[in-house]
Amino acid sequence: MIIKGFNTFRNRITLLTGGLLLSLSLVLITYLYHVATTRLSTASGESLVNISQSISTMLSANLIEREREIILLSKRSSLFKEQDLSDLQEAIDQIKDSYKYYAWIGFANPDGVVLASGNGLLKGADVSQRPWFINGQAGAFIGDVHKALLLERLLPKSQTGTPIRFIDFSAPVMGEDGELKGVVATHADWLWVDDVLSSAFTQVSERKGVDIFIIDNENNVLYPDNDLGDIEVPSALPQENQFQSLVWQDGEDYLTSLVAVNFPESTNLGWKVVVRQPTAIAMADVKEVHRLLLVLGVFSTLLCMWLAYRFASSLSRPLERLAKTARNIQQGNRNVSFQDDSQLKEVTSLSRSLQEMMSSLLDRERTLLQLTVTLEAKVKARTAQLEASNRSLEALARQDPLTKIFNRLALDEALLKEYELAREHNTEFAIIMADADYFKKVNDQYGHTVGDNVLKNIANVMKDIVDSAGMAARFGGEEFTVLLPNTQIEKAQQVAETLREKIASTEMDTGLFVTASFGVAMFKMTDDHYEQVLNRADAALYKAKDRGRNCVVVSD
């Protein structure tokens, strides 16, 4: 049974046209939305993974650097021989002043009594029950994040009002006879994480609602401060170096990535970097285009239905006249006749109208295809922007911000690569460790601005002389390192002497000249780790210091 009102030719043509156009629009819009959502979701998720990896790399490098500093201090056995420990006190004060997040650094004897400490804090205190002292007697130790205990009442209150939290670094001090002389340790303020994250957290990330969390092995939030337990990480997190869409405790859906932090061999606290972005923000561009496509689809469908109705009306009138003529003839009226000319004209008009309708459909399809190309171009442009931001972050992570030469992270990567190449192909490489002599006096007498200029000029000298023959990097503080691939000991010593002479003859600031001490070491096939070359060069550097500075000492 045909519903009344739909049994006319014009209504059926109108509804058929509208239905076809609406179905085509929905199919195309659904397909385009699916493709755009998948591509943008993947690009956004990979960007979050890249941010997580950059933060993890910087955290690992910082932890390794802090551990190395405390180990190097523990190996300077000459500082622990004298009873008055004045040289040790001076060294502790220098190290504490070299890194603004060192809240406390000190040395405790085997009984757990603090004999020397930065600014005298906790001197004479019993720390024998503290985890850093207990674990530090056996080897290098890094403690998990914890609130300040003994130092809380001695240190200034946090500006944010949150509890003071520390990370402990400790190492045993062994005598020449192998006997334990005590434990040297430092408490690093947890606020250093803000500096690490600020270098990776761009304005683009902040504007797009990106949040960064550091969690422990039990998914407890270590950063940002979660003292009141307001933040709860989902129990089902993505796999390592992966991302997925998760619902967090606020009920919102977030694109979430996870990357583990690589700890030094001595400790593995199981930290992970979790980066999230609201899915609504990540997919905002796709949803906006989806809404635009829906509006255009509905508008185009209504417009075409109106045109179809006008077309069907113009076509049905001649047919109605023909039907009326046929009925008149059936009723016996022979005075009417078919007008062949009119009939042929209607057929021609019908053909022309159908062609126009087809042209309208083709125009509609071209419009939708053009929208597809525009949408893909936007996705590619956004992906390129994210990749460029990631490349900038990666470059900044490997450059020393003061001297503009390579930093410790870049040095470690290059040294590991050279170490593996040397072991595989039986080649040689050399390490030069350099340290500006009496640099603390330069800072004390002329100020830190002049001290920064001295470090920049030393870096420029090293970069100019080493050039393409190797790699110059700032090791930390006033220490620099030169990596010389495919270099024998004689050539390495010659380069070190050239650097020493050039630094001594270069005016670092108006009327200011400084000298530097150098230690040179070669890779040995018996080395189990690339840091052994660094350790020998570092030991040679300290011999150069003991011999009066401004000289080059070659490791045995």
Determine phi and psi for 380, rounding to 5 degrees.
-65, -40
Model pLDDT for residues 480-538, shown as the tens digit of each residue: 999 999 999 999 999 999 999 999 999 998 889 999 999 999 999 999 999 999 999 99
Model pLDDT for residues 22-31, shown as the tens digit of each residue: 777 677 767 7
DSSP string of 90-152, one letter each residue: HHHHHHHHHSTTEEEEEEE-TTSBEEEEGGGTTTT-B-TTSHHHHHHTTS-EEPPPEE-STTT
Q: Is the pLDDT of residue 114 over 50?
A: yes
pTM here?
Answer: 0.48
Q: Where are the beta strands (DSSP E) in 158-278?
A: 165-174, 180-189, 211-215, 221-223, 242-247, 253-260, 272-278
Q: State the SS3 of 316-358.
A: HHHHHHHHHHHHHHHCCCCCCCCCHHHHHHHHHHHHHHHHHHH
Model pLDDT for residues 244-256, shown as the tens digit of each residue: 888 888 888 888 8
C-alpha–C-alpha distance, residues 499 and 518, integer Å: 9
Q: Is the dihedral of CA 496, 497, 498, 502 positive or negative?
A: positive
Q: Is the pLDDT of residue 459 over 80?
A: yes
C-alpha–C-alpha distance, residues 480 and 460, integer Å: 11
User: Reduced to 3 states, what is the DSSP secondary structure of residue 527?
Assistant: coil
Model pLDDT for residues 176-204, shown as the tens digit of each residue: 778 888 898 888 887 777 777 776 665 54
All domains in the chain, ordered by first residue? 23-302 (3.30.450.20), 408-554 (3.30.70.270)
C-alpha–C-alpha distance, residues 297 and 287, integer Å: 15
Q: For residues 65 and 358, which has the higher predicted lDDT (pLDDT)?
A: 65
DSSP string of 136-148, one letter each residue: HTTS-EEPPPEE-
CB 104 within 8 A of CB 122: yes
Residue with tokens 């021609």, as numbered in its chain: 348
Q: Is the dihedral of CA 55, 57, 58, 63 positive or negative?
A: positive
Average pLDDT over every residue of 131-138: 88
Residue with tokens 């052994």, as numbered in its chain: 532
CB 219 within 8 A of CB 241: no
Length of the chain: 556
Q: Classify each residue of 242-279 as buried b or exposed e, where b means 16 or more C-beta atoms within 10 Å of its C-beta.
A: ebeebebeeeeebbbbbbbbebbebbeeebbbbbbbbb
Give the end-to-end CA distance of the chain in Å, rounded to a whole number: 105
Which amino acid is present at 63? L
Q: Is the dihedral of CA 340, 342, 348, 351 positive or negative?
A: negative
Token pair, residue 78, equals 């000459």
Average pLDDT over every residue of 11-27: 74
pLDDT, residue 2, reads: 47
Most confident stretch, 63-72, 81-90, 224-233, 287-296: 63-72
Q: What percent of the chain has pLDDT over 90?
A: 27
C-alpha–C-alpha distance, residues 497 and 495, integer Å: 5
Mean pLDDT value across the chain: 79
Q: How confident is the model at residue 344 (pLDDT cuts 50, 70, 90)?
A: very low
Which amino acid is present at 160? T
